Structure 1
Amino acid sequence: MALNDFDFRPDYNKADHDIAAEFYLPCMENSIIYDRVSGYFGSTIYIIAWPALKKFVYNGGKMRIICSPYIIEEDQIALNEGYAARGVKDVEAALIDEINNMLNDAYLSKPSRILACLVAMGVIDLKVAIIKPEATPEVKRLFHDKVGIFKDSLGNAVGFRGSMNETFKGLSADGNIESIDVFPNWIDSRDKQRVDNAIRYFNDLWNNNILHIDVCEFPKTAKEIFEKHASQANWEELVDEVTVQLDKAKMWSADKKKGGRIPRPHQVSALEAWEQRGRRGILEHATGSGKTFTALCAIRNSLEKNEVPIILVPSKELLNQWFIEIRETLSDLNLQILICGDGHNRWKKSGYLASWTRKGLSRHRIILSTMDTASSDQFIGAITSGEHLFIVADEAHRIGSPYHRKILSIKSGPRLALSATPRRYGDPEGTQAIFDYFGDIIPPPFTLKDAIDSGVLTKYMYYPHQIRLSESEQKIWDELSEKLSKLIATKKRDDSDISFVFEDGQIKNLLIQRAKILKTAIEKVSLALNVIQEHYLKGQRWIIYCDNQGQLKQVLNLLVENGYDAYEYHSAMNGDRNETLRYFEINGGILVSIKCLDEGVDIPAATHALILASSKNPREFIQRRGRM
């Protein structure tokens, strides 16, 4: 077929259209030329429409791609200042680093090897663009919008501009395009002019004729890496394998609407491993890696089996958050949701909960409860237990507490626990109870490093700042240290091992008192202001983590007195916490908080964190890092 045999819409968006099926794949299958400005180099794997790729190649198709390497800020400055020799090396090093990361990534290895094969075969020709700060807005928009042009053998051409989420290192068939404007050259003179302009602009870029942009050949050393991997691969087999991966993702997806989300590769792997283990296990995935959506995929699968999911959460914030996620993601189902806790007491009616949890229900039902409510004898006693129940626990480390542990008496079939940090710090008994009920960690865990390497979480820089204790703080510290020294000396048995003494109640109490001095040191308050004065820019989103409400109030008052847009966020605050987060998302500013942002709450992307106090509990670091 020719491109003009299709009746393309003037625009598409993922909410209403299947962009892959309706536009991208038909264009790829019926074109012989595809020119693309793809943004960062790593995004080039997204432009290959996997199901249509073979036909494009068999048609004799050729792609020309202009991309940019990901260059750190210091190297970008050097390039902009005209250090040409260094600039070439920086570009080459950045590309080689990206290529090696892609080829070594468990999820991106196959598509990256396909890219390597197509480059080696001459199907894809790559060039590298360095955009200078003084480039025109139109040029910058071209790279931001990811302009593309398809051409067929009859001279028909269709161009498009689209937004694309390039931080998602998954294998979406439509490149995870969110929305596009489409302009064919056969409809009217206006669209033809837009196509002609896009073609001319692309060719000028390709030939390095655009002011303030340097477009050069892909580095030879980088291309040699592709050639090495291409010689070891069969591109057609790799395409088939990637297509199978995509089909699995679509099969597991909780969101069956047009343009709906599909699980990322690490989520699909987790779901398949969970199923292989009898649909039981603990999902140990870093904050920000999509645990809720992974669970929703398992929940949809459970509903299709006519089971009754019971979702347990530790807080009212997560209760509301889960309700919204369920309603939006599973909106195509005729779903009933029973909320228990936070003032929702309908479940307490005689026989109500038993009816909702009985086997063989004709309609899809989900029970969503706080852990506090589900731990009550009334809740547990009212449940109709059995293999038809599916227990899902979010922030599952919380369910191992002595009170919440009562939930683990509920008899059920499938079980899934979610937590970036499932092991309870300093509580082996509670940890073992969680593992005994839900099963082992679903392999492999998805760590902070995995999340950063896969683009789920951003890379970050960590800057420690030093303060001194005040004279009075130092005096108390020294007194406590002396008491500790004497107490340890009297309790230790020999010099070879003194670790056991730290389990002593007196010693633990003194250590806690001494740690408190560091967490609440008075100089931290003025340090917070100094850091903000030196680094904060209007529109940024900062979170300052404090130890307690007293420290929070001191920091907040000091920032407000100095004219900063600062506001508090914690469980005992006055006002609407959800509105506070919405304000933070729209306007930015400085959010001064304590622990209630640590677990599960979805917050707008933050640009900076200032941690004034933290414990040795690894959960604090992992949860807080995931907020950035």
Structure 2
Amino acid sequence: MEPESDFTDLELPRVIDTSSDDLMQDFYIPLLSRAKVYRRGVGYFTTNWVRSAARGIAELAENGGTAQWIMSPILEEDDWEALKKGNRAKTDEVLRESLDSTISDLRYDLEYETRNAIAWMIADGLLEIKLAVPSKKLSGDFHDKFGVFYDWNGNRVAFHGSQNDSEQALRNYEAYTIDCDWISDRDNEGVNMQKKRFENLWEGRDENVGVHTIPEGVKEGIAELRDNNNRPYEPPESVATTESEIVLRDYQRDAVDSWFENDNRGLFQMATGTGKTFTALAALDEYTDTVDDPLLCVIAVPQKHLARQWAQEMETFGLDQPKFVYHSANPDWKNDLSRAVSNLELGIKNYECLITTHQTFSGEHFREKVSQLSRDTILIGDEVHGLGSEGRRKGLLDSYDARIGLSATPERYYDEEGSNHLLDYFDGVIYEYPLEDAIPQYLTPYRYHPIIVEMDEDELEDYRQMTQSVVASRYSEDADEETTNILQSQRAEIVKEAINKYDVLRDILRGLDDIKHLLVYTNSEQIDTVGSILNEFGVMHHRFTHEEGDDLREELLTRFGEGEYEALVAMRCLDEGVDVPATRTAILMANTGNPMQFIQRRGRVLRQAPGKDRADIYDLLVVPTLEPDDDIAMSEQYILEKELRRFEEFAETAENEYEARNKIEDVRIAYGI
């Protein structure tokens, strides 16, 4: 529930100090009770700090607000030396050990109310904590003290000063300088400076400060301190879901029933955005009620940032929270895996759920441990087409009793053997729910705009010469297949880098009435130029690539959904499973003939969101020319046939189907397709 008043109702002084004012009553609590977001960078992670920071924070949580804290861990000299070596595994180990005693302190030193509030906020995902460790030219502590409050109407208050948010600091003579962005340009500039500093730290962009997410074990340890019978605040809508509120859509119910009728095995081939994850968890939830013996659930996801989405969905069903068993989330994953298997084998626990990546799932260690278990097991393979490769399918053990495979496109592109293996292992596709059945009730209607892009003169000449080389190599007795493939790859690079794409992008941006919730798919060759063009148009944007860490990606999606970022520029990592329902417009600068990828990309755009009644997809198709000679026409026919499959697929379910088909007719005529 949003507060009725905002920051502009407060009479905040330019400077506030502990001698003249009560910082809690006059500053913290009034702001927290009106805030949507509270971001704080401060010294040490101690119980005093937490006690002080938690005052009034329950009101923030009850309003549906969130908090982000950056602080310095308390480390011994040996720990600092270990961190300087830069080893990720060692870093996580040191940070976890340094915080273990703090968790104990939280349990015994904090008042019940404060401890319970912090623990519930961690569990509900309303509070995130990161640890800052100066590096490179900085060798001391992270000792800054600043923060930014945001209210529900977009007003901001920033503060900076000497107070260290501890009990002792409240007795010291301490002071803050306060900036309110609605008062003056100077105040607004001050807020922006503090906002930028926090974001640079939080996102790891300050090269002289290493910022680390607290290890999962520490987060879970804090969350376990909560009193399950006493929430200190009403849960916001984002976490206020109970089992009694779970209602499956008709097609989801049919899918679950089909799975049980098929002896708890099968593939769900459901359009992207129709709730495959939710459907699989409904099946899991019901399956756990049918199993009397201890049960191991393994969920294998293609990319690590999808693991958190699964964990969040599991809360909806009241399922026990999973363990993340892959290295980047849990350096101690091998021990956690061993303990989970042992606990089930010995009957110490009745249920364990492990979320892992396709890579770890198919690795020897994971396979060996799971194979040792004699108890019941269930496997859920997310984006299951990724498990059909020769290496990945090693993880598809016979020992999994129940099996669910999820994909909009379970058949593997140009891999009949892998496709057949998946069909055999999961006992076939037992339920299908295509895109055309989901629009408009469950997915957003869309308009499709194919745009033909011709090469400029220099590119066309290079392309002609490269085509001649490809043809000559193909029919030469001396050339081998590898040489021909290299030449074809070099020719494909000319297509990827076609300069006229950028003019088309500018034309599209000019034609958009309101640039917001825009997703641009690109590649490594284009991403810098695309970013520059978005800057030309004053579009607030951020990259979304494999280089961004899990926490940053999650934050980017949140801020994109809230409109703080008007655009995301993505490379492949938004192809599978990531929820970006706010997207209203997509521009496909970099294309793929792989149906798995382009179907996934379309699905990112069609998810429903409040106020979203239509989506638009702009799809760029580069051709050498619309007046090709015979050599180019012949060499391009096969390539364009593959490309046009995507256009046909996209046009078929678009609101403007015939308009979209007409736009690509010139290409068909020119190249005899």
TM-score, with normalisation over the residues of structure 1? 0.53
CA distance in 2, matches of 1:441, 1:509: 37
Aligned to 1:549: 524
Pairing 1:322–2:297 present: no
Deviations 1:185-218 (CA, angstroms, capped at 9, x unpaired): xxxxxxxxxxxxxxxxxxxxxxxxxxxxxxxxxx
CA distance in 1, matches of 2:412, 2:510: 38
Pairing 1:576–2:552 present: yes
CA distance in 2, matches of 1:316, 1:448: 26
Give the match's secondary structure for 1:442. strand
Q: CA deviation at 1:311?
A: 0.7
Aligned to 2:422: 434
Q: CA deviation at 1:345?
A: 3.7
Structure 2, unmatched stretches of 5+, are 1-239, 606-673
Aligned to 1:525: 502
CA distance in 1, matches of 2:329, 2:467: 47
The equivalent position to 1:339 in structure 2, one of 314, 324, 333, is: 324
Deviations 1:321-375 (CA, angstroms, capped at 9, x unpaired): 111211x2132x5x25222012314442294242145385653321111122222
| Distance 1:608-1:356 versus aligned 2 partners, 3 A rule | farther
CA distance in 1, matches of 2:346, 2:401: 12
CA distance in 2, matches of 1:319, 1:424: 23
Pairing 1:516–2:516 present: no
Matches within 5 A, 1:210-609: 257=242, 260-304=245-289, 305-306=291-292, 307-326=295-314, 328-331=315-318, 333=319, 335=320, 337-341=322-326, 342-349=328-335, 351-358=338-345, 362-383=349-370, 384-386=372-374, 388-443=376-431, 445-452=432-439, 455-488=441-474, 505-538=482-515, 540-546=516-522, 548-573=523-548, 576-587=552-563, 589-609=566-586
CA distance in 2, matches of 1:412, 1:509: 42
Q: CA deviation at 1:486?
A: 3.7
Q: CA deviation at 1:478?
A: 0.9
CA distance in 1, matches of 2:483, 2:343: 50
**Letter of the 2:304 counterpart:** K
Q: Is the CA contact (8 Å cut-off) linking 1:605 and 1:627 kept in structure 2? A: no
Q: Is the CA contact (8 Å cut-off) linking 1:386 and 1:412 kept in structure 2? A: no
Deviations 1:568-625 (CA, angstroms, capped at 9, x unpaired): 1111147811111111111151211111111001123211111012111111221111
CA distance in 2, matches of 1:376, 1:382: 10
CA distance in 1, matches of 2:481, 2:548: 37
CA distance in 2, matches of 1:568, 1:468: 27
| Distance 1:522-1:337 versus aligned 2 partners, 3 A rule | same
CA distance in 2, matches of 1:450, 1:470: 42
Aligned to 1:171: none
CA distance in 2, matches of 1:485, 1:469: 20
| Distance 1:406-1:544 versus aligned 2 partners, 3 A rule | same
Q: Is the CA contact (8 Å cut-off) linking 1:614 and 1:620 kept in structure 2? A: no
Q: Is the CA contact (8 Å cut-off) linking 2:576 and 2:600 kept in structure 1? A: yes
Deviations 1:159-185 (CA, angstroms, capped at 9, x unpaired): xxxxxxxxxxxxxxxxxxxxxxxxxxx
| Distance 1:505-1:626 versus aligned 2 partners, 3 A rule | same
Deviations 1:279-323 (CA, angstroms, capped at 9, x unpaired): 111111110010000010111122222432111111111111111
**Letter of the 1:614 counterpart:** N
Deviations 1:364-402 (CA, angstroms, capped at 9, x unpaired): 321111122222211111123457100111011111223
Q: CA deviation at 1:259?
A: 5.1
CA distance in 2, matches of 1:267, 1:361: 34
CA distance in 2, matches of 1:315, 1:288: 17
| Distance 1:589-1:481 versus aligned 2 partners, 3 A rule | same
When the two structures are aligned, how many residues end up with a matched partner? 357
Give the match's secondary structure for 1:572. coil
Pairing 1:617–2:594 present: yes
Q: Is the CA contact (8 Å cut-off) linking 2:497 and 2:525 kept in structure 1? A: no
Q: Is the CA contact (8 Å cut-off) linking 1:357 and 1:389 kept in structure 2? A: no
Q: Is the CA contact (8 Å cut-off) linking 2:243 and 2:317 kept in structure 1? A: no
**Letter of the 1:483 counterpart:** S
CA distance in 2, matches of 1:482, 1:595: 32
**Letter of the 1:571 counterpart:** H
Q: CA deviation at 1:554?
A: 0.7
**Letter of the 1:475 counterpart:** E
CA distance in 1, matches of 2:437, 2:489: 33
CA distance in 2, matches of 1:258, 1:320: 20
| Distance 1:432-1:258 versus aligned 2 partners, 3 A rule | closer
Q: Is the CA contact (8 Å cut-off) linking 1:313 and 1:369 kept in structure 2? A: yes
| Distance 1:541-1:343 versus aligned 2 partners, 3 A rule | closer
CA distance in 1, matches of 2:312, 2:466: 49
| Distance 1:434-1:386 versus aligned 2 partners, 3 A rule | farther
| Distance 1:385-1:258 versus aligned 2 partners, 3 A rule | closer
Q: Is the CA contact (8 Å cut-off) linking 1:566 and 1:592 kept in structure 2? A: yes
Q: Is the CA contact (8 Å cut-off) linking 1:371 and 1:399 kept in structure 2? A: yes
Q: Is the CA contact (8 Å cut-off) linking 1:448 and 1:622 kept in structure 2? A: no
CA distance in 2, matches of 1:573, 1:337: 24
Give the match's secondary structure for 1:599. coil
Q: Is the CA contact (8 Å cut-off) linking 1:401 and 1:430 kept in structure 2? A: yes
**Letter of the 1:368 counterpart:** I
Give the match's secondary structure for 1:465. strand
Give the match's secondary structure for 2:501. helix
- Across the aligned residues of Structure 1 and Structure 2, the Cα RMSD in angstroms comes to 2.6
CA distance in 2, matches of 1:382, 1:560: 51
| Distance 1:349-1:602 versus aligned 2 partners, 3 A rule | same
Q: CA deviation at 1:516?
A: 3.0
CA distance in 1, matches of 2:529, 2:324: 38
Identity of aligned residues (%): 32
Q: CA deviation at 1:504?
A: 5.2
Give the match's secondary structure for 2:245. coil
CA distance in 2, matches of 1:397, 1:359: 34
| Distance 1:451-1:602 versus aligned 2 partners, 3 A rule | same
CA distance in 1, matches of 2:369, 2:243: 39
CA distance in 2, matches of 1:468, 1:567: 28
Q: CA deviation at 1:518?
A: 1.9
CA distance in 2, matches of 1:533, 1:275: 52
Structure 1, unmatched stretches of 5+, are 1-254, 492-500
**Letter of the 2:312 counterpart:** I
CA distance in 2, matches of 1:336, 1:544: 34
CA distance in 2, matches of 1:452, 1:387: 42
Q: Is the CA contact (8 Å cut-off) linking 1:569 and 1:594 kept in structure 2? A: yes
Q: Is the CA contact (8 Å cut-off) linking 2:298 and 2:379 kept in structure 1? A: yes
